[in-house]
Chain A
Amino acid sequence: MKNIKSIVVALLVAAGIIGFNSCDVTNISDVILQITVDFDPIFEDKMVPDSSIDFTDLNDYETYRDNKDKIEDATILHFNYRIDELRTENNMDIDSIVFESVNFYLIPTTFNGSRIPGQRYKLGEFKNLHVSDYYKTAKHIIEVPSELGNLISEQIKKSPYFVVVTEYSGLVGENVDNKFDYIKSHMDMVLRIRTN
């Protein structure tokens, strides 16, 4: 009987040690924020296929500024793309405008916008993009693959400057109006920032 009690006591002590060692208390000091970054790339007075470019300095965002010395990683999670205004040279009806594709790229830069050679990350694409379906709506969201998000994170930790390139393909159909007076689009991007 005494041996059994000793074993029970030993088991209780062991369970206690295991239980207390399993606490994740160190994890909780990491704070994980999400910040939204927005771009308004203007495509102006150009023929498609061509691109619009928008420069971003994350220092413009208060949450980033407040935490930049403590950032462990900064990952792009997803983004939404929409078109706010568009006009072709001959006032083509937006219901009839369809791009074969629209591709999105992130290119790291220096503080003055000079591109860092050899680095260009494709964030995603929309194929067969009907402009009317993308007109002032919040429903076109692209999730950035985590592997790519991690790659970009390493870059963002080194430099908070980058450009987002929106690359418009040619239009679907024949006898279409390829000359745009402007395409005013908008992107909201969600970044996850982990600080320690």
Chain B
Amino acid sequence: MNKVILLLIGITISVAFSFDAKADFNKDGVLEVPGDFNLFTSKNLQGYTKPLFTTIGQGAQSNLFTVASYDESYSIGIDLSLSSTLIPGSQQVYDAVLPAAFGDTTIMDNAIYQNGKIVRNISGTVEQPTIYGGASNAIYVVAPVQGGDPADSIYKTIAFNEGTNITTMASLPAFQLVFGLPTRTELRFRFLGAPIDDEMYSHLAISANQQLDHWMDLFNEEDDMALALNASYQFMTLAETIDMNSWSVGLHFSKGFGDGFSLYGGLQIEDLSGTFNMVRQNGYQAEYYQEDGITLKSRSAISTEQQLNYDAHVAARKNVETNPYEEVRLLKPLSFDIETFTNWRFTVGASYEFGIMDLHLDMGYASQMFLNGGIRLRFKEWVDNDEVTE
């Protein structure tokens, strides 16, 4: 369990904190997880980790712009920024899906101890903490109600993973190369590569900002105001385990107050999507099962070279044979679509330019409030006639 959490955190903050992210990958490049994950189905792991992916997505789509005024010249520079997010209470819980028979009083009696109260015969979903949340609530189960030995039932008392009581979280550090074009265009590129075991986590981002107001004569030059469009596309991969992409489009506005000091703000829509795949140790292989997908074939029906793996799978299933979730009993892969809570954000910030340096700090309203700050250095700037200005 720790390894996977560390992997995700490593992805989130690897460069800034020199995090040592480790994980075990199988020969196909898929992360292989231990028995701790027998508390999770794919659906519930999706809910548990969604706020963390939101942080990753928000961090990726932060620091795409500062002031909306772009020079009519070529330029080269770098920008380094860090961001921090504030986790709202609503993202500290998710609705965990319960096994199908929960709540059916002809099959079982159940009770949950929640906030000092006992609630009986819950069904459908139950609120449990996300990775950022607090204590979880176990569900006590007695089944079958009539006859049989409860010890042999697949409906047993179950517990859920707890959260880590996180209210603020550092996000992805962004190191960007920044290129200016004389069309009042700015291009930003960021790349992050972090080795994890024998695999490489890669994050590539391409962003473009285009000043618009001068085409429409929106502002007087002496007012030192500007309006620009920003767009970004990014993708992040880790072997066959993580494959996600993120995009954003927005408008930003700025006003200068002289002496290099400016205020800026922007509104953007954004999204993060993709897939997250893990397998359980000695996990499910379709070739071990008959056509119904749930009935094991006999050992003799398995190819000789696969029989040892088949034996390991059958042995591993013994540890989970009374797990109430069929997905866990069959040791099926943990796979889910990556989602984010953030689809739009409003940003306000300030920038102070001094020589080749530009300090900027902004904060924003999104599903996770954030603070983002950094420094930009513009090494060289020149115009079309090769006149070097800096």
* B is a partner of A: yes
Instruction: Give the interface of A toward B (CB within 8 A).
Output: 1-2, 5, 8-9, 12-13, 15-16, 19-20, 22-25, 27-36, 38, 40, 62-63, 66-67, 70, 77-78, 80, 82, 84, 136-139, 141, 143, 186, 188, 190, 192, 195-196
B319: chain A residues within 8 A (beta carbon):
62
Interface class of chain B by DSSP = mixed
Report 19 cross-chain contacts, Cβ distance below 8 Å, ordered by A residue. A2-B259, A5-B352, A9-B359, A12-B359, A12-B361, A12-B373, A20-B84, A23-B170, A25-B169, A31-B1, A31-B2, A34-B39, A34-B162, A38-B157, A63-B39, A66-B36, A190-B138, A192-B135, A195-B1
A27: chain B residues within 8 A (beta carbon):
164-166
- Given A24-B166, A34-B160, A141-B118 contact (CB < 8 Å): yes
Contact B164 A70 (CB under 8 A): no
B6: chain A residues within 8 A (beta carbon):
29
Contact B138 A36 (CB under 8 A): yes
Contact A141 B113 (CB under 8 A): yes
Instruction: Give the interface of B toward A (CB within 8 A).
Output: 1-2, 5-6, 9, 13, 17, 34-36, 38-39, 82, 84, 109-111, 113, 116, 118, 120, 131, 135-136, 138, 140-142, 145, 150-151, 156-170, 257-259, 261, 319, 350, 352, 359, 361, 371, 373
Q: How far is the CA of A33 from the CA of B1 in the complex (A)?
A: 9
Q: How far is the CA of A40 from the CA of B13 in the complex (A)?
A: 47
19 further contact pairs, Cβ within 8 A, besides A29-B5, A35-B159: A19-B84, A24-B164, A25-B17, A25-B169, A27-B164, A28-B131, A29-B6, A30-B164, A31-B36, A36-B157, A36-B159, A63-B36, A63-B39, A67-B36, A77-B138, A136-B142, A137-B142, A143-B116, A190-B159
Q: How far is the CA of A67 from the CA of B38 in the complex (A)?
A: 14
Contact A186 B17 (CB under 8 A): no
Q: Which 3 A-B pairs have the closest CB atoms?
A: A34-B159, A32-B162, A16-B373
Q: How far is the CA of A19 from the CA of B261 in the complex (A)?
A: 21
Contact B140 A188 (CB under 8 A): yes
Partner of A19 from B118, B142, B373 at Cβ < 8 Å: B373
Partner of B359 from A13, A20, A31 at Cβ < 8 Å: A13
Q: Across the interface, name the chain A residue whose C-beta is closest to B3.
A: A31
Contact B161 A33 (CB under 8 A): yes
Q: How far is the CB of A27 from chain B (nearest CB, A)?
A: 5
Q: How far is the CB of A63 from chain B (nearest CB, A)?
A: 6
- Given A25-B170, A29-B2, A5-B162 contact (CB < 8 Å): no
Contact B109 A40 (CB under 8 A): no
Q: How far is the CB of B355 from chain A (nearest CB, A)?
A: 14
Q: How far is the CA of A29 from the CA of B22 in the complex (A)?
A: 12
Contact A141 B170 (CB under 8 A): no
Contact B350 A8 (CB under 8 A): yes
Contact A195 B2 (CB under 8 A): yes
Contact A63 B35 (CB under 8 A): yes
Q: How far is the CA of A195 from the CA of B120 in the complex (A)?
A: 31
B350: chain A residues within 8 A (beta carbon):
8-9, 12
Q: How far is the CA of A66 from the CA of B280 in the complex (A)?
A: 14
Q: Across the interface, name the chain A residue whose C-beta is closest to B8.
A: A28
Q: Across the interface, name the chain A residue whose C-beta is closest to B9.
A: A28
